[in-house]
A and B are shown apart, each in its own frame.
Chain A
Amino acid sequence: MFQTVRMKRLRIIALGHYKQPLIRSLHKLGVVQIVDYEGTRVHPNEVEEGLVSLHMTDLDLKTLTTQVMRMNKVLDIFEEVDPVSGDGFIKQVFRPTPPEKVPVKELDRGTLVKEAKKALSSAESEVVGPAEKLARIEKEIAEYNAQKTTLEELRPLDAPLEYIESTPVLTSWVGLLAKEDLEQIEAVLEEEAGNLFYLGASELTDEQEYAAVVVCFTKDAERVFPAIRKAGFDRIDVSGLSGTPEDALEGIEERLQGLVKEKANASEEIASISSGWRESLATLREQLNIERDRGEIQSKFAKTDTTIVVEGWIPYRYVDGLAQAVEEATDGYSVISLTDPDVPPETVPVLLDNPGIFKHFEFLTKLYSLPKYNEIDPTMLLMPTFCIFFGIMVTDAAYGFLTLLLGSFLAIGGGRYNRTIRDLGVILAAAGLATIFVGALTGGWLGDFAIEYMGLSALRSVMMLDQLAQVQLFLYLVLVVGVIHLTIGIISGILEDARHGKLKEAVFEKAWPLLALPGLALIYVGSMIPGVALAVAALAILITGHKAMFFFEITGFLGDVLSYARLMALGLCTFGIAMTVNVLADMVSSVAVVGVIAAPVVFVFGHAGNWVIQTLGGFVHGMRLHYVEFFSKFYEGGGTGFEPFVAKRSVTEEVSM
C-alpha cells in the first residue's frame, strides 16, 4: 500500500545449451530486470571466482544491427515520399484508431535473419533505382533554384553571361552596386585602371541598385577588383551560365517545371513500392530488434565451462511464474536462487503498486520523483488532498462538471491506448468530481449565475459557505486545512524516520509543531495552563533540535501555513471572474439588436476561458503545494525505476499458430 513492490534478487544458473530458449522465455515473460553480473564483487567467494568469467557478446549482433539499419534506410525513404497519416491531435486524444498489430509466429533467429535478408534484397532492389532517380532530380532542382536566385538579381542586365570571364587580355565581372556607390566606383576604376575600363549598368532595380558589368584589362584586374569591392561592388558568380539573364531565367523555368513533373512521377513509383513492402519490412524490423535485444543481453551474463549465470531483480509476486517458465525452457537443467535485497536501497529498482484509482495518481508522484526502495510511496496520501485542493481552488460546480466530462472522455478515448492520457483523464475526472461538491457547498454554479440570474435559490440549501460574504471564514478554513495537511506530512516524516531507527532525531527536528499547535489552540480558547505548557515544551524541543536556527524554523513553518492561503485566493478568484462574466453578459444582453446574439457569446467564451485558466491553476498550484510544502516534510525520492527485460512490440503480436 504505502510500500513499493517487494523485490527479490535473482540468480539463475542454467546449462549453457539452453541459453537461447532461456533468453527467449525471459524476454517473453517480461518480469525480470537483468543486471550486469556482479557475483563475487558483492559476495567475495573464491570458488566462484575461479570458475566464473564474463560472457562475451553475441556474434550475431553485427548482422542483426546491419539488417536493422538497412531496413531503417528503406523505411525512411518510404516515409519521406509517402508519410503514414496518423490521427490528428484531437482525434488521437479523444477517439484514437485502435493500433493494428500483425500476428507473427515465433521464429528462431536463423530463419528470421534469412527471411529478413530475402525481403531486404527484394525491397532494396525495387526501391534503389527510383530512390536514386528521385535524389538526382531533387539535386537538379536545388541547383536550378540556386541559379534562379542569382539570375533574378541580374534580371535587368542585358548582357550575354557567357562572356563574363577572365581571358588573357580582358577580365570582366558582373554584379550589383548600390545607387549611391556608383560615383565612387567609377572614381576607383579611373584610379586603378587608368581610363581603360568599361562600366555598363542597367536600370535601377527596386532596391535602388544597378546590375552592372565591369570590364578592365587583365593586367589591372588584381588591383581593380579589391578596390571596387571595397567601394561597394557586389560581385555575382555566373560561371556556367549563358544568354542574357532574362533568357536564362526562361530556360530554367521550363526545365524546373519538367523536373517537378518528373519528381512527382518518381515519388509515385516509390509510393506504390512502399505500399507493397512497408508492412512486412516494419514487421521484420521489429522482430529483428527483439532478436537484437536478446543478443545484447548476453553481455550481462557470466559463464563457466558449461553453464551460464544470469543475475537480476524480480518482483516477489512473479516468482512462481518465473520458476515454471525457466523450468520449461531449460528442461529442468537450471537452478534459481532468490535473496532479499541486501544492497543500498538506492540501487534496488522501484515498482509502484497502488490499487484502483490511486494507480493513476502515480503519474503525479513520478513527475516529482520515484521513491527509493525502502521509502514510503506517497501516492495514496497525495490523491485525496490533491482532489480536495483542486476543488477548493476552482469552487464552481459547473466548472467541476466540465472537468469531470473532459477527464472521462480522455480516459475512455485516447486513454484506451495511451497510458499517460488515461492517467490524466482519471485525475481530472476525480478532481472534477471533488470540485462539484465544493462548488455546491460554496454556491458556485457558473459564479452566481444559477442562483442570482436563474433564480435557482433551491441551490442555496446545499450551500455551507458564502464565498464572498464570509471571506474571513474562508481564509481561516483553508489555513486550518493547511495546518492539517502539514501535520499529516510531519507525522509521516516522523513515522518514516522511526522505521529507519531515527526516531529520537526525528522528534527533536520535526515534532515541535505537533505540540505548538494544540498549545496555541488551547491558549486561544482560554485554557492557559495546559496551553502554555505545551507551547513551552514545543519551544524546548525546537531549540534543542535546531539550536540557533530555531527562529527560521518558526518562520519557515509560518510561511508554509500561509502558502495554503492561495487555496482561498484562487477559489475567490474563480468566483469573482465568473461573476464579472455574468455581469458583462447581462450588460451586453440589454443592447438593442445584437444583444441577443452577443450576450450568449460573451457568456460562453467568458466562462470557457475562466474554466480553462482556473483548472490549469488548480492543477499546478495543487501540485506545487504537494511537492514543496507537503513532500518536504517526509519524502525525498530519488529511486530508479524497474526496467524489465521484455519484448517491445508495437506493430506485431506473437501468436502460437
Chain B
Amino acid sequence: MTTQFIGEHLLPGRLGSFFVVLSFVAALVSTFSYFKAASTEATDIEASKTWRTLARSSFWIHALSIVAIFVALFYIIENHLFEYQYAWQHSSRDLPAKYLLSCFWEGQQGSFMLWMFWHCVLGLIVMYTAKGLETRTMTIVGLTQAFLGTMILGLYFGKEIQVGDTPFQLLRVTMQNAPIFAQPNYMSFITDGNGLNISLQNYWMVIHPPVLFLGFALTLIPFALMIAALWKKDYTSFVKPALGWSLACGAVLGTGIMMGGRWAYESLNFGGYWAWDPVENASLVPWLVLVAGLHTLLVYKATGRAFVATVVFLLLSNLLVWYSTFLTRTGVLTKTSVHAFTGDGHALYYHLLLVIAVLLLISLTLLIRRWKQLPTIKTEEDVLTREFWMFVGAAVVFIGSLHIILVTSEPVYAPLIKMFTGKEPAPAINVMQSYNNVQVWIAVVIGLLSGMVLYFKYKKTDARTAWRRIGTVALIALAMSVTIQYLQHITMFQYALMLFTCCFSIVASIFYGIAIQKAKFRNLGPVTAHLGFGMVLLGILLSSYNKHTISYNTAGLSLNMGKATAEENARESNENQILFLGTPTAMGDYFATYLGDSSVPGKDKRQYFRVRFDRIDSNTHKVTESFMLYPDAFINPKGMGLTSNPDTKHYLDHDIYTFINQALDKSKSDTSQYYTHSLSHAGDTIFLNDGYMVYQGLKREINNKNYEAMQGDLPVCAAFRVYNLQGFVQELDPVYVIEGNQSTLKVEDTVHSMDVYARLDNIKVISKDSVTADIAIRQTDPKDDFIVLKALVFPYINVLWAGVIVMVLGFFISLGKVLGGRKKTASE
C-alpha cells in the first residue's frame, strides 16, 4: 500500500538520480576502455584506437552527466523544493540568491560533486593534450571518478550496508519515522528549509570552495601522469606536462588555501587567518608536498637525478588529498577541530579508507615492480649545485609537512599511544605554539635555501661568483632584518633568525631577477614565486609576532608565539572589554564608543553594532582620527545563541580587527518597565535617557506604519517630535483605536535609534478644551545595553596578502613559460 503524496516535484530528483547512475557507469566504461586501449597500444594499434574512441565518448557522457546532476540539484535548491532533504537541510527561502551556490558546498555530496566536476574539466583537457600518455593517465582519472561516483550513489545492500549518499534523497525517506510523513499532504506543512550555516554566508565562501577543490582536483593530474609514466616505463615524456600541471596546482591550491585564511579572518572569530586547525592543515600539507615534488621534478628535468623523490612526492600529494578528506569528513577529528565537518557515519569512514587503500596499492605495486629500472645517475653530485640544494630544500619542506600531518592525525593513532602509555593522549595544550616551535625552524631553512639556490647553477657552479653574490645579498638582508627587528621589537632568537632568512629570500629574489636575469619577464617565474613566498613568511612573522589585543586595559605587547606561562594565560583572560552604550572606553591608542545597534526588532536577522573609534591627541585633547566599525552578529538565530562576524579597519601597515563576544538579546530584555506620563498641552515635554520628546497634541490623521486602517475604526494618535542631544530625530505617533465602538487597540510607535517605545494608553476628556493623554514610555537603560568586544591589531598583515598574490603570479609566469615552450616546439 503506497500513499499518494501531494505537492511533491519528483521529476528533477528522478532525472538527477538517473544521471548519477549514468555518470558512474560511464566512468566505469571509460576506465575499462582506456585500460584496454593502453594495454593493446603496443600490440594492436587499430583495436587500441577503437577502445580509445569508446573511452573518450564515455568520458564525455560522464562529464555531461555530472553537469546534468549539478543542474538538477541547483534547480531543486533554487526552487526551494524542500521535499528533497538536501534543499531542506542546506537552504531556506530567505537565503540571498548569491549564497544559493554555497548550499552545494555545505553538504557532503555537493562538495564531492564539485570535486568530480573539476576532475571532468581537467580530464577533458588531459584527453586532448596528453598524447602518448593519454590512455594511461585517463585510466587513472576515470578510476578516480568512479570512486568519487560511489560517494553519491546511495545504493543499499540489505538494510545495513549503504554505499554513498545521493543528494536527491527525499526528506520523507530520510525521516521515515516522523509521523508527519504519513500524511499525503505533508508538503503543505514544510514551508521552509533549515537554512545555510551563518558562517558560510560570506562572499569568500562562494568562491573559496570552488578554487580549493580545483586545487585538490589538480593534484590528480600529476599523480595520474606519474602512474602513467611508471606503467608505460616512459620516463621522459611525462616531465613537461607534469611540470605544467604541478605549477597550475601550486598556484590554484595555494590561492584556495589562502582564500580560506582570508575567509576565516573576515568571518570567523577565532582571531586570525590561521589556527593550525586540522581542516586548514589538511589542505596545506598536500600543497607543501606538491611544491616539494615540483622542485624535485625540476631537478630531474635538468639533471636526471631525484626521480624517485619526484614520484613519491607527486603521488603522495594526491593521496594526501584523499587522506585529508578522510580526516575532515568522517568525524575522526571531532575532538580536536573547531570546524571539522561532523561525521556522516561509518559508511563514509570505510568507504574512504577503501579508496585510499586501492590508490596506495596501485602506487606501491607499480613503484616496487619498476624499482630496478628507474632512472638513476650513479656519479656523485657536486655540493655547490642547484640540484643538490633544491633537493635538500624539497626534503625539508617534506619533513615540515610530515610534522604537520603527524600532529594533526593524533586522534587517528591515539589508541596506539594509549596501549603503550596507558593514558589517553590529547593534543598539545597550546596547539599553535606546538606547531610554531617546530615550523619556525623549517621556515628558517626554507627561507635561506629559497634565496640561495637561485645563485647556484645546475651541475657546475662557479663558486666564487656565487658566494660573492650571496654575500652581497646577505649583507643587505642583514641590514634590513636588523632594522625591522629593532622597530618591531622581535626578541626571541628563532624568530629573529627567521626574520633574517625571510629578508634574505626577498632580497635574493629581487636582486637575482633584476641584476642577473635582467628582468626578462618570461624567465621571472621562479624568482617571483620565491619573492612571494618570502613575503608570505615575513607577513606571517610580523602579523603574528606582534599581533596584540587592544581590548584590555594594560596595553602592551603580547607574544602569542611565546611561552604558555601563567602570565600569558592571565593576559589572554583579559582580552575582552565591555562597552556600555555611549560610554567611551580606552582601547590601545583609541577610545571606543558603542553607539547602539542597527537592528529593527523582528525584521533583521543580523545586527550591526556601531562602534566608533577615536584617536585623541594627548596634548591637545583633540580627536585626530575617527572611524566607525560595524562588527555584526546574528543574535539567537534558531536558538543557536550569538554568532558573530568581525569587522576590520584596514590600514596599509596594520589592521584593527574587532568582533563581538556577547551582546544583549533585546528580545529577552523586553521586561523593562513602562513609565506613564499624563500630557494635556501641546509643547509638554517628556525627558528621555539621551534626549526628549515634545507633545504636539492629538491628531486624527494617522502617520504610523504599524497601524493598518480598518472599516469602522476610530483612530486617534498622539503626535510627538523626538530630539536627541544633536537635534531632531523623527516623529513619533502612538495610536489609540476604537474598533467599531467595542474594543480598543493600542498601536505602539518606536524610535529604534534611541530604543524608545511609546504607547497611547488612555485619553481622558475632562472638558471640551482639556483633554489628557496618558503616554507610556519605555526605554532601555544604557547600562543595560552593552557589548563585549575583542579588538586585535595585526601589524603588516598586508605583506602576507601581497605575498600570496606575488607567489601565485610567479607560478603563473612559470606556467606561461612551460606552455609557451611547448607551443614553440610544436610549431618548429
Q: Do A and B bind each other?
A: no
Chain A interface residues (CB < 8 Å from chain B):
none
Interface residues of B (CB under 8 A from A): none
